């Protein structure tokens, strides 16, 4: 059976063959534990981990020793938020006030709910019609006890970019610890944690043509206020911050994915933008019922999200056969109801339920997008 054309690259990406080639030896010949320091198997594994750590650090403008391995962005988010908030609660007399946005991934929103149970004062901020948390609004929300802000660099459903550089600099000026979930943004926008005032940054391998089950957390160890309590115990790996035997093949894969993202950054993003803009233009020009969700220009180069007025759900599914696309976040697709992200930007329920997310990728071709346009246009020939 012929598989559909894959256009769901915001959910996950194909493992790049070049990444796979780098990983293979660490499954077969170089299978040592980097913690084993008495023989060459361990030394070679340790060297590979060091190389990968440097590659990831270079992609985000970080110091190598500030990158810590995790199982993915969900764990990185949990470690960053809970690690900071638990320490703030235990070490301060005042209740810490923490802020995030209503359009964040569940891996942030659910952690904030738990932080409230721990005793933190939580604010879930509203966003503008494009899904951005504006700095002016943040300034209004700030309190005397505001200590921590978590804001995604790019939204996983609608692709909107937040102005994390302005927000990060403002946080630094006000001695507020700033975390960004950059799972969608890493490799697609220029990230410089020092320039942007970022204290903690989460990223994931499988969103950038690396393997699943591996991610990283950047921690600004130069900021004395950034003190993380570990979530797990039982070993000294990763400075005691994240104990457990390192996933060497995964780490090597993430390192190579970061290297390729940096090497091909300009070329890849230019290609994605052209295809993205072609798709948006074709759909909005020929389908009056279509609405583009998210910011028209301040968005990921590979993300398009439409809603369609008066489109029956059965035609929606049938008309897009042959395309692997999404109606929202992969992590929320099993939940009943319409997208909370689309509702947060003001869409009525009927429009939120008739949404379509198209995620372009490294291996997407012009003919794939032309076919996608044709199928979307064809939906409305039956109404």
- Averaged confidence pLDDT in the chain: 93
For the cut 70, the answer to whether the pLDDT of residue 28 exceeds it is yes
Say if residues 150 and 100 touch (Cβ distance below 8 Å): yes
pTM: 0.95
Residue 265 has pLDDT above 70, yes or no: yes
3-state secondary structure at position 293: coil
Q: What is the model's pLDDT at position 363?
A: 97
Rounded CA separation 159/147 (Å): 27
CA distances to 15, 165, 205 from 301, in Å: 19, 18, 18
Written as one string, the DSSP assignment of 97-152 is EEEEETTS-HHHHHHHHHHHHHT-EEEEE---TTS---HHHHHHH--TTEEEEE--
Overall average pLDDT of the 355-360 stretch: 95
Q: Which domains does the chain possess? A: 5-14+265-379 (3.90.1150.10), 17-263 (3.40.640.10)
pLDDT-based confidence at residue 215 (cuts at 50, 70, 90) = very high
At residue 23, the pLDDT reads 98
Average pLDDT (238-257) is 95
- For residue 165, pLDDT over 90 is answered with yes
Which of helix, strand or coil describes residue 49? helix
Backbone dihedral region for residue 105 (phi beyond 0: left; psi -120 to 50: alpha; all else: beta): beta
The answer to whether the CB of 165 falls within 8 A of the CB of 382 is: no
* CA distances for 237 relative to 30, 37, 230, 307, angstroms: 19, 13, 12, 46
pLDDT score, position 337: 67
Question: What percent of the chain lies above the pLDDT cut of 70?
Answer: 95
Query: What mean pLDDT is predicted for residues 125-144?
Result: 98
The pLDDT of residue 376 is above 80: yes
For position 177, what pLDDT does the model report?
Answer: 98
The better pLDDT of the pair 152, 3 is held by 152
Q: Tell me whether residue 171 is one of the annotated catalytic residues.
A: no
Q: Mean pLDDT throughout 350-372?
A: 94
Averaged pLDDT for residues 37-65: 96
Question: Sign of torsion, CA 226 60 326 296?
Answer: positive
pLDDT the model gives residue 235: 81
Beta pairing, strands 290-292 & 303-308: antiparallel
Query: Comparing C-alpha atoms, which of 139, 269, 249, 134 is closest to residue 191?
Result: 269
Whether residue 316 is predicted with pLDDT greater than 90 in this model: the reply is no
pLDDT digit string, tens, across residues 30-41: 999 998 999 999
Band of pLDDT at residue 317, cut at 50, 70 and 90 = low
- List the one residue out of 266, 206, 217, 213 whose CA is nearest residue 239: 217
The two tokens of residue 256 are 């190579």
- Cα separation of the two ends of the chain: 30
How crowded is residue 15: how many other Cβ atoms within 10 Å of its Cβ?
17
Q: Residue 321: pLDDT above 90?
A: no
Q: What three-state secondary structure class fits 189?
A: strand
CB 359 within 8 A of CB 302: yes
User: If DSSP codes are grouped into helix, strand and coil, which group holds residue 305?
Assistant: strand
Chain centroid to CA 153: 7
Q: What is the pLDDT averaged over residues 124-149?
A: 98
Q: Are strands 303-308 and 355-359 parallel, antiparallel or unpaired?
A: antiparallel
* Residue 348 pLDDT: 92
pLDDT band at 336 (very low <50, low <70, confident <90, very high): low
| Averaged pLDDT for residues 139-149 | 97
Residue 160 has pLDDT above 60, yes or no: yes
pLDDT in tens, 86-126: 999 988 777 999 999 999 999 999 999 999 999 999 999 99
DSSP string, 318-332: HHTTTEE-BSS-GGG
Q: What is the pLDDT of residue 105?
A: 97
Q: How far is C-alpha 341 from the geometric centre of its chain's CA atoms?
A: 15
User: Looking at residues 170-199, what average pLDDT do you find?
Assistant: 98
> What is the pLDDT at residue 319?
76
Taking the alpha carbons of 45, 46, 51, 57 in that order, is the dihedral positive or negative?
Answer: positive
Q: How far apart are CA 229 and CA 221, in angstroms?
A: 13
Does 313 have pLDDT greater than 80?
no
Active-site annotation holder among 40, 115, 171, 331: 331
pLDDT confidence bin for 44, thresholds 50/70/90: very high
- Cβ atoms 299, 158 nearer than 8 A: yes
């Amino acid at each position: 059976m012929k598989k559909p054309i894959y256009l769901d690259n915001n959910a996950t990406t194909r493992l790049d063959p070049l990444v796979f080639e780098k990983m293979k030896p660490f499954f077969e010949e170089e299978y040592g534990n980097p913690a084993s320091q008495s023989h060459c198997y361990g030394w070679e594994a340790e060297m590979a981990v060091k190389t990968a750590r440097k590659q990831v650090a270079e992609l985000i403008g970080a110091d190598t020793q500030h990158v810590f391995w995790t199982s993915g962005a969900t764990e990185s988010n949990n470690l960053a938020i809970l690690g900071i908030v638990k320490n703030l609660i235990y070490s301060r007399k005042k209740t810490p006030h923490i802020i995030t946005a209503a359009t964040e991934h569940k891996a942030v929103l659910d952690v904030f709910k738990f932080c409230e149970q721990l005793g933190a004062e939580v604010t879930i901020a509203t966003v503008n019609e494009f899904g951005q948390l504006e700095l002016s609004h943040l300034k209004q929300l700030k309190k005397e006890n505001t200590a921590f802000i978590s804001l995604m660099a790019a939204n996983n459903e609608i692709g909107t970019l937040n102005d994390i550089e302005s927000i990060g600099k403002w946080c630094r000026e006000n001695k507020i610890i700033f975390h960004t979930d950059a799972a969608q943004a890493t490799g697609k926008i220029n990230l410089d944690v020092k320039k942007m005032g970022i204290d903690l940054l989460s990223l994931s391998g499988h969103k950038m043509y690396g393997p699943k089950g591996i991610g990283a957390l950047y921690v600004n160890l130069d900021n004395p206020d950034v003190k993380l309590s570990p979530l797990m115990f039982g070993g000294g790996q990763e400075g005691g911050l994240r104990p457990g035997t390192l996933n060497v093949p995964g780490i090597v894969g993430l390192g190579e994915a970061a290297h390729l993202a940096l090497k091909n950054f300009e070329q890849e993003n230019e290609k994605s933008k052209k295809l993205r803009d072609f798709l948006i233009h074709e759909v909005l020009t020929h389908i009056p019922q279509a609405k583009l969700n998210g910011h028209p220009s301040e968005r990921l180069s590979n993300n398009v999200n439409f809603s369609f007025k008066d489109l029956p759900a059965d035609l929606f599914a049938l008309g897009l056969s042959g395309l692997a696309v999404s109606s929202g976040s992969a992590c929320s697709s099993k939940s009943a109801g319409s997208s909370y992200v689309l509702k947060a930007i003001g869409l009525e329920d009927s429009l939120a339920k008739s949404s379509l997310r198209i995620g372009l990728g490294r291996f997407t071709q012009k003919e794939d997008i032309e076919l996608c346009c044709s199928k979307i246009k064809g939906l409305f020939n039956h109404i």
